[in-house]
Amino acid sequence: MKNKYDVIIVGAGPGGSITAKTAASGGLDVLLIEKRQEIGDPVRCAEGVGKDALKKHIEPDNKWIASEIKGSKIFSPDGTEIKMSEDASSGMKVGYVLERKVFDRVLAQEAAMAGAEVMVKTRATGLLRSNGKVTGIKAMYMGETHNINADIVIGADGIESKVGRWGGIDTALKPNDIETGAQFLVSNIEPGDYNQFYLGDNYAPGGYLWVFPKGKHMANVGLGILGSKSGNVRAISRLHRFLETYMPKGKIVEMVVGGVPVSGPIKQTVADGLILVGDAARQSDPLTGGGITNAMDAGKMAAEVCIKANEKGDYSVKTLKEYEDKWRSTIGKELSKSLQVKNLLVKLNDEQLNQLAHSLDGIDTSKMELPSLLFALFKKNPKILWELKTLFV
Amino acid sequence: MIVNVNRFKCGYCGACVGVCPAGALELIETWIEVDTTCTGCGVCAKICPVGALELNEK
Q: How far is A170 from chain B (nearest CA, A)?
A: 9
Q: Kindly list the residues from chain B whose CB atom is less than 8 angstroms away from the CB atom of residue A162.
A: 17, 23, 26
Is A183's Cβ below 8 Å from some Cβ in B? Answer: no
Is B17's Cβ below 8 Å from some Cβ in A? Answer: yes
How far apart, in whole angstroms, are the C-alpha atoms of residue A148 and residue A125?
11
Q: Kindly list the residues from chain A whose CB atom is less than 8 angstroms away from the CB atom of residue B14.
A: 44, 158-160, 258-259
- Which residues have a Cβ under 8 Å from the Cβ of A288 and sit 6 or more positions away? A338, A370
Q: Kindly list the residues from chain A whose CB atom is less than 8 angstroms away from the CB atom of residue B48.
A: 180, 230, 234
Chosen from A160, A163, A183, A262 to mutate, greatest number of chain B CBs within 10 A = A160
Q: Kindly list the residues from chain B whose CB atom is less than 8 angstroms away from the CB atom of residue A159.
A: 13-15, 17-18
Is B42's Cβ below 8 Å from some Cβ in A? Answer: no
Is residue B31 pLDDT above 80, yes or no? yes
pLDDT band at B58 (very low <50, low <70, confident <90, very high): low
Q: Domains of chain A, with CATH numbers?
A: 4-44+101-174+265-336 (3.50.50.60), 67-95+175-261 (3.30.9.10), 343-392 (no CATH)
Chain segment A118-155, per-residue pLDDT in tens? 999 999 999 999 999 999 999 999 999 999 999 999 99
Sheet (strand A218-226) strand order: A81-84, A71-75, A194-198, A208-213, A218-226, A178-187, A251-261
Ordered per-residue pLDDT tens for chain A, 393 residues: 899 999 999 999 999 999 999 999 999 999 999 999 999 999 999 999 999 999 999 999 999 999 999 999 999 999 999 999 877 555 566 799 999 999 999 999 999 999 999 999 999 999 999 999 999 999 999 999 999 999 999 999 999 999 999 999 999 999 999 999 999 999 999 999 999 999 999 999 999 999 999 999 999 999 999 999 998 899 999 999 999 999 999 999 999 999 999 999 999 999 999 999 999 999 999 999 999 999 999 999 999 999 999 999 999 999 999 999 999 999 999 999 999 999 999 999 999 999 999 999 999 999 898 889 999 999 999 999 999 999 987
Q: Kindly list the residues from chain A whose CB atom is less than 8 angstroms away from the CB atom of residue B51.
A: 234, 236
Is residue B1 pLDDT above 90, yes or no? no
Please, is B8 exposed, middle or buried when counting C-beta atoms within 10 Å of its C-beta (0-12, 13-18, 19+)? exposed
Label residue A57 left, alpha or beta by phi (over 0 means left) and psi (-120 to 50 means alpha).
alpha
Q: What is the DSSP string of A214-253?
A: -SSSEEEEEEEEEGGG-SSS-HHHHHHHHHHHH-TT-EEE
Which CATH code is given to the segment(s) B3-55? 3.30.70.20
Model pLDDT, residue B56 = 87
Which parts of chain A fold into alpha helices (H)?
A: 14-25, 51-55, 100-113, 163-166, 235-246, 292-312, 317-327, 333-345, 350-358, 370-380, 382-385
Q: What is the torsion angle, in degrees rounded to the nearest 10, for the CA atoms of residue B2, residue B3, residue B7 and residue B13? A: -140
| Phi, psi for residue A180 in degrees, rounded to 5 | -105, 125
For A223, nearest residue in chain B (alpha carbons): B49
- Which residues have a Cβ under 8 Å from the Cβ of A138 and sit 6 or more positions away? A124, A125, A126, A127, A128, A145, A146, A147, A148
Q: Kindly list the residues from chain A whose CB atom is less than 8 angstroms away from the CB atom of residue B52.
A: none
Q: Kindly list the residues from chain A whose CB atom is less than 8 angstroms away from the CB atom of residue B41.
A: none
Model pLDDT, residue A93 = 65
For A38, nearest residue in chain B (alpha carbons): B29
Model pLDDT, residue A94 = 77
Whether the CB-CB separation of A100 and A40 falls below 8 Å is answered with yes
For A172, nearest residue in chain B (alpha carbons): B19
* Closest partner CB to B18 (pick from A160, A181, A236): A160
Q: How high is the mean pLDDT of chain A?
A: 96
Q: Kindly list the residues from chain B whose CB atom is less than 8 angstroms away from the CB atom of residue A36.
A: 29
CA distances to A119, A202, A383 from A162, rounded to whole Å, are: 18, 35, 42
Q: What is the CA radius of gyration of chain B?
A: 10
The residues facing A126 across adjacent strands are A138
Q: How far is B49 from chain A (nearest CA, A)?
A: 5
Is B15's Cβ below 8 Å from some Cβ in A? Answer: yes
Cβ–Cβ of A255/B11 closer than 8 Å?
yes
Chain segment A344-377, per-residue pLDDT in tens? 999 999 999 999 999 999 999 998 988 899 999 9
Q: Kindly list the residues from chain B whose CB atom is less than 8 angstroms away from the CB atom of residue A175.
A: 19, 43, 46-47
Model pLDDT, residue A87 = 72
Is B14's Cβ below 8 Å from some Cβ in A? Answer: yes
CA B9, chain centre distance (Å):
12
Chosen from A34, A122, A159 to mutate, greatest number of chain B CBs within 10 A = A159
Cβ–Cβ of B19/A37 closer than 8 Å?
no
Interface subset of A 56-115, CB within 8 angstroms of B:
none
ipTM above 0.90? yes
Cβ–Cβ of A178/B23 closer than 8 Å?
no
Model pLDDT, residue A383 = 96
